[in-house]
Structure 1
Amino acid sequence: MLDTALQIIREEGGDRLTLGHLAIRAGVSKPVAYEHFGTRSALLIALYKALDLRQTNALKQALSAGERNLAETADLLAAAYINCAVDTGGEWHAIGAALAGSEEKGAVLQELLDGYVQLFASVLVPFSELSPAELARRCVGLVGAGEALSAAMVQGTYTESDAANTFAALIRGGVSAAR
């Protein structure tokens, strides 16, 4: 049903995604959709998490191959992170917009961002002399920068290459011990 929900968002927009419409498009009864998700917000959150899991796995896969220096790691991390925005097209933002004002959205988004902060810190720790706490704080900023660059790229302000190159430069500078 999540694939069908994503297809509805792609084809018809986030506002058209309801549990009733999902049931019809997925070929199941409305009670099945309601039993599975409960609410539209729960469906949107499940979609948010599914997209995030797919992108996190792609990022981890890209980072798992071979040893790299800081510059190579930053380039790979930035390119993979920015590419996640390309891969999800407008779906990520459409789901976020559909969840606007939802208390659950804030909590889920923070949980997902915290996961990226932890991933960045674990990948960058071999290249940094910063304390774990300082590296984590900087990774919060880096992930925020990655989100902002991704959003600007999706809006057409920057190319994917420009966003990734800028993000890689920020990553390289962000793990330095200089204050």
Structure 2
Amino acid sequence: MKNTTLPDAPATGRLSRAARRAQMLDIALEIIREEGADRLTLGYLAARAGVSKPVAYEHFGTRSGLLTAMYRALDEQHSVVLRDALSKAPKSLQATADVLASAWVHCSADSSGEWHAIGSALGGSEEMVAVHKELIEEYVRLFAATLKPWSTLADDELYRRCAGLIGAGDALSMLMINGQCSEQDAAQSFSALIQGGVGAG
């Protein structure tokens, strides 16, 4: 999901605080795509955005703060796409699983691996651990609520299985990103796992 919030915003223009932050997040993603996560620093981001270093530090505080903000922004786009797709899905287990799987894998494909690159750059930082835990819990709850109508499992077991399914979806997405399978193959495999994992009656 390539962020195109402000693709043509002039670097030196007068922007609101929110617009400036969005612009810098867009530019930070460009840096990762073009030069890799190791090249991304607040100083380099400020230079590319045409602002002073204090402006970048005011918005993000630290490099980890910037990476965390990027991770959240990409995740928010992922969540919107997923929820929108689910709202339009026919009401059957197969159709719902297909939508969950396709949207999940497609978001990874559309982000060109930036999501994983950002996560890797954050590594085992406290910020990343906290954010990752929060976001994963949100997705597990979404999967469980979405799949509950077709499940015969107790709620706690369904929750655990959905946590495992999300891990499988991420692993399949990485296979696709690494060129080991197509997006369609990854989505089909993920859908099959979802359908087989919810204890459908």
TM range (shorter): over 0.9
Match of 1:132 in 2: 155
Contact kept, 8 Å, 2:150 with 2:200, in 1: the verdict is no
Contact kept, 8 Å, 2:89 with 2:96, in 1: the verdict is no
Q: Which of these residues, 17, 25, 32, is aligned with residue 40 of structure 2?
A: 17
1:151 aligns with 2:153: no
CA deviation map 1:31-63 (0-9, x unaligned): 010011100000000000000000110000000
1:74 aligns with 2:107: no
Amino acid at match of 1:147: D
Q: What is the distance in 2 between the residues matched to 1:90 and 1:133?
A: 32
Higher helix share: 1
Q: What is the distance in 1 between the residues matched to 2:153 and 2:161?
A: 10
1:120 aligns with 2:175: no
1:4 aligns with 2:27: yes
Ranges in structure 2 where 5+ consecutive residues have no aligned partner: 1-23
TM-score (norm 1): 0.95
Q: What is the distance in 1 between the residues matched to 2:130 and 2:105?
A: 23
Q: Which is bigger in relative contact order (C-alpha 8 A, separation at least 6)?
A: 1
Q: What is the distance in 2 between the residues matched to 1:72 and 1:31?
A: 49
Q: In percent, how many aligned pairs have the same letter?
A: 61
Q: Over the residues paired in the alignment, what is the CA RMSD in angstroms?
A: 1.3
Contact kept, 8 Å, 2:67 with 2:122, in 1: the verdict is yes
Q: Which of these residues, 124, 131, 139, is aligned with residue 101 of structure 1?
A: 124
Q: What is the distance in 1 between the residues matched to 2:200 and 2:99?
A: 21
Ranges in structure 1 where 5+ consecutive residues have no aligned partner: none
CA deviation map 1:59-104 (0-9, x unaligned): 0000011532101111111111111110111211221221123222
Q: 1:177 Cα shift?
A: 5.3
Q: What is the distance in 2 between the residues matched to 1:122 and 1:26?
A: 41
Amino acid at match of 1:110: K
TM-score (norm 2): 0.85
Equivalence map 1:17-36=2 (5 Å): 17-36=40-59
Q: Which of these residues, 63, 70, 74, is aligned with residue 40 of structure 1?
A: 63
How has the CA–CA distance of structure 1 residues 66 and 73 changed in structure 2, closer, same or farther, with 3 Å as cutoff?
A: closer
Amino acid at match of 2:172: L
Q: Which runs of 4+ in 1 moved over 3 A?
A: none
Q: What is the distance in 1 between the residues matched to 2:27 and 2:165?
A: 33
Secondary structure at 1:108's aligned position in 2? Answer: helix
Q: 1:111 Cα shift?
A: 1.5
Q: What is the distance in 1 between the residues matched to 2:92 and 2:116?
A: 33
Q: What is the distance in 1 between the residues matched to 2:31 and 2:149?
A: 43
